[in-house]
Chains A and B, each alone.
Chain A
Amino acid sequence: MREKKAQEEIVGFIAIVLIISIVLVIFLAIMLRNNSPELKESKEIYQFLDSSFHYTTSCAISYEPNYLTLSELIEECKEGLSTCLNEQDPCANAQKTIKSILEASFPASQNNAIKGYEFNSIYTLSEEKKDILNIKEGNCSRSSKGAEILTSSTPGTISSSLKLCY
């Protein structure tokens, strides 16, 4: 009789431990979900993209000094029909310019707050999508901030996005 009573007590104790464990597991799950990598919209990055796209590049197509802005150069890269008067390829020029601007503005390394970045330019026409530029540097596995800017490129749109990883 005494043994049975002790068994009942142990069953009760186990039940309580189980309830507490379940509650803790749920709590931990909520916490871990919040810590998963996330992308936040950033006005600063939008301002950066907007200002960078006005940058005057060294590429002129028709005559000098009618130099293209960075956004016009990306559009020229997408067309793929012309070469700059200084015989540079518009895509190579755009790639080099964006990389240099990013390095000057957001130096990325393991010792800095910014661990890496990712820049993408994609041309979209209804369902059709075409990659124009893709620049990646450093490690982008953790949380990040980003923004996207749309520029018209008749008959479609060029969507350029930048993601900074921390």
Chain B
Amino acid sequence: MNSYVIYSKAQLKIQQMAFVLVALMILFGIIALLYSSITLRSLAQEASSLNEEEAKEVVRMLSSTSEFISSNCENCIDLDKVLLLKYRKAYQDFWNLDFLRIEKLYPESSEKECDLSNYPDCSTITLINKENFGSPSTAFVSLCRWEGYQKCELGRIYASGKSLN
């Protein structure tokens, strides 16, 4: 035996309205989700770029330590001093780093690791180079040396290690 449910006109209208409201809620929900995901992604990007900038700042602060600093200017690295540090094994664990390199950027010179025989006609001085050092943070620095007068060039310092993370 078939049974029939008879809906009144008003009930049908309410049902129709409810469907429309649910559809609208779903639509607004999707829009809100999309917006929040975009906002969160940009926040994450901002946080990572802030971390990167902080690491750069820490790396640059290395150039102000007494082992590196040039006597005549702030944030300038004394390249003569750094070359001598390269041959002091005691400094290998001094900064608690896995990688530490200084590279001359401008004026460009032959791409060679500096040693006592080719200095200053070289481009890099690597002080620490342990295995699996990861991706190094880098900062611009001024590289100064004595040539009868103080001569400064443009360079970069690269450092990597757990103490920087």
| Residues of A participating in the B interface, judged by any CB pair closer than 8 Å | 16, 19-20, 23-24, 27, 30-31, 34, 42-44, 47-48, 50-52, 54-56, 65-67, 69, 100-101, 104-105
Residue in B closest to A16 when the chains form the complex, CB atoms: B20
Give the Cβ gap from A4 to chain B, nearest Cβ, in Å.
Answer: 15
B53 touches A56 (CB 8 A): no
Most buried by B among A19, A30, A104: A104
Q: Tell me if A's interface is mostly helix, strand, loop or mixed.
A: helix
Residue in B closest to A53 when the chains form the complex, CB atoms: B142
Say whether B111 faces chain A, with CB atoms less than 8 Å apart. no
B31 touches A23 (CB 8 A): yes
Query: In the complex, what distance in Å separates the CA atom of A84 from the CA atom of B155?
Result: 25
A56 touches B56 (CB 8 A): no
Query: In the complex, what distance in Å separates the CA atom of A71 from the CA atom of B75?
Result: 15
Contact of A23 with B139 at beta-carbon distance under 8 Å, contacts A43-B53, A50-B75 already known: no
**Which chain B positions have C-beta within 8 A of A27?**
31, 34-35
**Which chain B positions have C-beta within 8 A of A47?**
56, 60, 139-141
Which of B82-90, B92-100, B126-134, B143-151 touches A? Answer: B143-151
Known: A56-B149, A105-B105. 17 other contacts (CB 8 A): A16-B20, A43-B56, A44-B139, A47-B139, A48-B140, A50-B140, A51-B155, A54-B142, A54-B144, A55-B152, A56-B151, A67-B151, A69-B152, A100-B107, A101-B106, A104-B106, A104-B154
B31 touches A56 (CB 8 A): no
Give the Cβ gap from B59 to chain A, nearest Cβ, in Å.
Answer: 10
Residue in B closest to A23 when the chains form the complex, CB atoms: B31
Query: In the complex, what distance in Å separates the CA atom of A16 from the CA atom of B23?
Result: 10
Instruction: Return the contact of B106 from the options A19, A20, A50, A55 (Cβ within 8 A).
Output: A55
Give 10 A-B contacts (CB < 8 Å), ordered by A residue. Answer: A16-B20, A24-B31, A44-B53, A47-B60, A50-B140, A50-B142, A51-B140, A56-B153, A66-B149, A104-B107
